[in-house]
Amino acid sequence: MSRLHRHRTEIEDADNPRPVYPGNSFNPPRPLFPALFRGFGRRCPACGSGRLFSRYLKVAPLCEHCGEVLHHARPDDAPAYFVMLIIGHVAVSLALALEETAAPPVWLTLLASMSVACVLTFALLPPVKGAIIALQWTLWMHGFDPHDQEEHTQPGLETSPRVGRTTTPREPDRAVAASGAWPS
């Protein structure tokens, strides 16, 4: 009997009615590539129909189509790092190609490469952030794991460090307030 099989049997025999899956013990595997493509298209990683963002980069609190809760996604700085990696290669390649072929003045090379970098930054940030959120959803990371011990709070509620109690922001998101997800 293999070590993995022994471990799986011990968990199943420990009065635990939940099934055990390889890798992440209590959660079934989710499809990676369909979720990544949905996230890159700024759609809900679960259904592919609902919008992932309520604004340019603000994650929607939940999918309006399937109801998947999305407010706890934490892509942090990863989208910015990946976009910088991509755009750095594109902008430097453009500047080198422009210098080799046309040899324009330096200011024109900088203007062209910086313009392309700015446009690509604004174009790539939402899809890359969506793909990172879809990856987190697929791997049951952060708040997407129902068995996780992290505290799940409602969207827009913050804990005040001085008082130690939950407070609401001054202007709630109208869509969230209308849906009844949090008190007005």
40-99: per-residue pLDDT in tens? 999 999 999 999 999 999 999 999 998 888 888 889 899 999 999 999 999 999 999 999
User: 164 lies in a domain?
Assistant: no
Q: Which pLDDT value is given to residue 146?
A: 73
Beta strands, E only, the chain? 158-159, 166-167
Q: What is the mean pLDDT of residues 133-142?
A: 88
User: 95 lies in a domain?
Assistant: yes
Query: Which is more confidently placed, 129 or 157?
Result: 129
Q: Which of 66, 31, 22 is nearest to 138 (CA)?
A: 31
User: 11 lies in a domain?
Assistant: no
| Number of domains within the chain | 1
User: 84 lies in a domain?
Assistant: yes
Q: Which pLDDT value is given to residue 166?
A: 45
Confidence grade of residue 149 (pLDDT, cut at 50, 70, 90): low
Q: Which pLDDT value is given to residue 23?
A: 58
User: 176 lies in a domain?
Assistant: no
Distance CA 129, CA 53 (A): 10
Q: What is the percentage of the chain residues whose pLDDT exceeds 90?
A: 45
Q: Which pLDDT value is given to residue 156?
A: 52
Domain that holds residue 71: 20-143
User: 156 lies in a domain?
Assistant: no
Distance CA 133, CA 135 (A): 5
User: 9 lies in a domain?
Assistant: no
Phi–psi pair at 91, nearest 5 degrees: -65, -40
User: 47 lies in a domain?
Assistant: yes
